[in-house]
Amino acid sequence: MTKSKSIISKYFSNFSFQKLAFLLATLSVITISFALGFHNASLYNPNHGFDGSGHIYYIEYVNKNNKIPPPTEWETHQPPLYYIVSALILRITDNIKSIQYINIFVHWLIVCMVGLGLYKVLKDKTQVLLGMLSLVALPMLNIFPPMVSNELLSTFFIISAIVAAIYLQYATTKKQFIITTTWLTVSLVLAVWTKISVVTILPTVIFALFLVRKVFSNKTVITTIISVLVIFGLAYLPIFIRADNSQSPSDIVGTVSAINKIPRPSGFYYRLDWIPKVDMYTTQYYSLLGGGWNSFWSDGHNVITPFVPFHKKAFILWTLGFILLPISLYGLFRLLKTHRLSALVIIITGISMLTVFVLINAACDHYSAVRLTYEMAIIIPYAFGIAAAAKNNRLVPVITLLLLIQFIIMVSFFWIQPWWFQAT
């Protein structure tokens, strides 16, 4: 009995007030995040958002006909995985609203998958939790949970592939290499069967596999690269054929190639007039810097909140971007010095995605080309940068405070009111 009491007292003496506060704050953030998702999904019109009605048509078609629809209607050119999963849930619940709760959980699958990668590299719990909090508080990710959309599931599989690519850098045995490469390949296949956005990380995948040549023979590495790309290509082939034959009005690739071949004006790449105008909502259509920034930080596409020319809460979120992004870049620089191979994989991810974004916008001025939603996995370099910056003990309270402010303002800003247009 005495021994038992001593163990308990020792445990509580080590469990400081600071640890208790940190635990309560973590549980509060998780609870509030889920509350935001469920609240918004309960009020949000499933036909709203990014082509919600088209996604619903696809799901209902699969549910009723036990097959995917021909690629002739709105959104039916899309790969089928998200719609098959959603149709199964619809069949069980017989309520289209139930589909809206899928992305609430996918949102947290994304956060946890990034956390898995963060812990593999950094090992420090505080850094890992701050990296995860940076995503929980990120406005871009919180636009999607109440929607009927394949964007978040696509992002999850893409991030899973990136995390697998990071794990590859720690593989020292053939068994570890085979398991990690299998994880990577499966993630790529599931990603391309959800949305073709995964092609934006193929340079990252090839680069990550190439880096392990210092541990494994060139023959093994080259054979693996070819095998992964062949399997990915075979999985993508039916998706490509379907998209190539698509007559869907929302097929951006087809629309761009058939109609819209006007490149954006050169000013799109360097215009900064959105800063003095404090343009938080329309800049994505005329500035690469402002557009990428605002669609990443705030509801610049007027999807969740009612559109107003200026909003104080949106302004705070918008301003926080000017502080948090440089901190993330600083963190990536530090990570490059301490965890070189992992940092290279993460940085190449960001560079390849931004390059694809620029190439698409250089090819056309289609309105959907400026949306960063198809490149949402760019959040992984951001999260790693924030987490790595927290290695600096003086920055930990600053980063924590900034992220908590962002989280609180984001929840308040995105908390749908019954009288908003989304509820009609």
Stretch 157-168: mean pLDDT: 97
* pLDDT tens figures, 213-222: 878 888 888 9
* Contact criterion met (CB below 8 Å) for 424 and 156: no
* pLDDT tens figures, 169-186: 999 999 999 999 999 999
Dihedral of alpha carbons 351, 356, 359, 365, sign: negative
> Is residue 369 pLDDT above 80, yes or no?
no
Among 385, 295, 371, 375, smallest CA distance to 332 is for 385
* Contact criterion met (CB below 8 Å) for 161 and 201: yes
Residue 359 has φ and ψ, to the nearest 5°, of: -60, -40
For residue 163, the number of C-alpha atoms closer than 13 Å in the C-beta half-sphere is: 26
Q: Residue 169: its pLDDT value, please? A: 94
> Is residue 15 pLDDT above 70, yes or no?
no
User: Lowest-pLDDT range, 110-119, 201-210, 249-258, 328-337?
Assistant: 249-258
Q: Residue 145: its pLDDT value, please? A: 92
Using N-to-C axis directions, what is the helix angle for 379-389 and 340-363, rounded to 10°? 140
User: Lowest-pLDDT range, 25-29, 120-124, 254-258, 279-283?
Assistant: 254-258
Q: Residue 258: its pLDDT value, please? A: 46
DSSP 216: S
Where residue 278 falls (left for φ over 0; alpha for ψ -120 to 50; beta otherwise) is left
Residue 29 or residue 302, greater confidence: 29
* pLDDT tens figures, 179-211: 999 999 999 999 999 999 899 999 999 999 999
* Contact criterion met (CB below 8 Å) for 162 and 117: yes
What's the predicted TM-score (pTM) here?
A: 0.91
| Burial 316-348, CB ≥16 within 10 A → b, else e | bbbebbeebbebbebbbebbbeebebbbbbbbb
Using N-to-C axis directions, what is the helix angle for 396-414 and 17-43, rounded to 10°? 20
Among 47, 64, 48, 67, smallest CA distance to 56 is for 47
DSSP 120: H
Q: Residue 245: its pLDDT value, please? A: 67
Q: Residue 10: its pLDDT value, please? A: 54
User: Lowest-pLDDT range, 43-57, 69-83, 299-313?
Assistant: 299-313
Instruction: Give SS3 for 68.
Output: coil
User: Lowest-pLDDT range, 15-29, 109-123, 263-277?
Assistant: 15-29
Structure token pair of residue 384: 């790693």
Share the mean pLDDT of the chain: 87
Structure token pair of residue 255: 């629309």
Which helix (H) or strand (E) covers residue 119, if one does? helix 102-122
Instruction: Give SS3 for 20.
Output: helix
